Structure 1
Amino acid sequence: MEIFIIIALILAGLLLFIVEVFLIPGISIAGIASAICLLYANYYAFDALGVTAGFITLVASGIGVVVVTAWFMHSKTVDKLSLKKTLDYKIDPLKGLDINVDDEGVAVTRLALIGNAEINGHIIEVRSADGLIDEKTPVRVERIVEGSVIVRKINH
């Protein structure tokens, strides 16, 4: 009867382990219950059947966790649960804005390589081609690269 209880506890612990790792990840009731089942199965084996049976149970439950994890990872169930979509779009911060090379504006914030500038009535994030540019300094759009506006200080 003791062996049946130990086997049932280990099987319940492995089932709850699968639920915890693959279905509801994080620390949840399934994970705590899995740990309790596996630990109590080992304690019960040491207490009721002796040291030899306890070590056999300990090794069996450890191997069981490894085998169940490997089996579940290689099964088609993981493929059915996995996310296969990829994000294939890029955010364009300049979409809808009419900003072109040689447009002029004013630095709204200090451009310590990156800051904000008002160009054509729009406040946008810009990069400085000159290094540090103080706020309220006139700037000109030098180039636009991958959605980044690069400005240079206008010298009057």
Structure 2
Amino acid sequence: MTVEIIIIVCLILVGVALLLAEIFLLPGITVAGIAGGVMMVGSIVYAFYYVGPTTGYITIAANIVIGVGAFIFVIKSNALDHIALKTDIESVVEQPEIQKLSVGQKGIALSRLNPIGKVEFNDESTVEAKSVTGEFIDAGEWVEIVHIDKSSVLVKISATDQV
């Protein structure tokens, strides 16, 4: 009976460790997460089958308590601080073409704005623009600038077909 208890405890501990590695270290659903879940369920099945129902119910409770406890411990500890990315990206891509544009200026869509695409203004400035309403604008349609930010241009379909 002692060997069965040791096997159950090992299955629980390895299963919890693999699930924690899956959650905090490995992106997506990988073999570690699946193996961890299988080991935790396997510890319950093993306890019911080889030891008895009382040990099986205790194993269910132990899986829950140890799993939640380990999760909370990892969250509260400083372990994640050592691997977490702490830098902020504050740089911006300079777009001098946008600085030449003004609200109300008209241009022609070079590609379909779906809702973002390329628009040409004054036969010289080609910028990436976004439809202000989110509607699709086909290539070749005339558009008008509604709003300009540092890095984006919002346009709508122009009421007139001339620049």
Query: Structure 2 length as normaliser, TM-score?
Result: 0.67
Report how many aligned residue pairs link the two structures: 150
1:65 and 1:57 map into 2 onto residues whose CA distance is: 12
1:50-65 map, 5 Å: 50-65=52-67
User: What do residues 48-106 of structure 1 show as CA deviations (whole Å, max 9, x unaligned)?
Assistant: 121111001011011111111000011111112222222323444x425772559x875
Query: Aligned residue for 1:45?
Result: 47
What 5-or-longer segments of structure 2 have no aligned partner? 132-136
CA 43–31 in structure 1, closer or farther in 2 if over 3 Å, else same:
same
What 5-or-longer segments of structure 1 have no aligned partner? none
Query: Aligned residue for 1:148?
Result: 153
CA contact (8 A) 2:47 2:59 kept: yes
- Provide the secondary structure at the position in 2 that maps to 1:3: helix
Q: Tell me which amino acid in the other structure corresponds to 1:35.
A: G
Q: RMSD between aligned alpha carbons?
A: 4.1
1:94-133 map, 5 Å: 94-95=95-96, 99=100, 101=102, 107=108, 116-119=119-122, 121-125=124-128
- How far 1:136 sits from its partner (Å)? 8.3
1:28 and 1:40 map into 2 onto residues whose CA distance is: 18
Q: Tell me which amino acid in the other structure corresponds to 2:4.
A: E
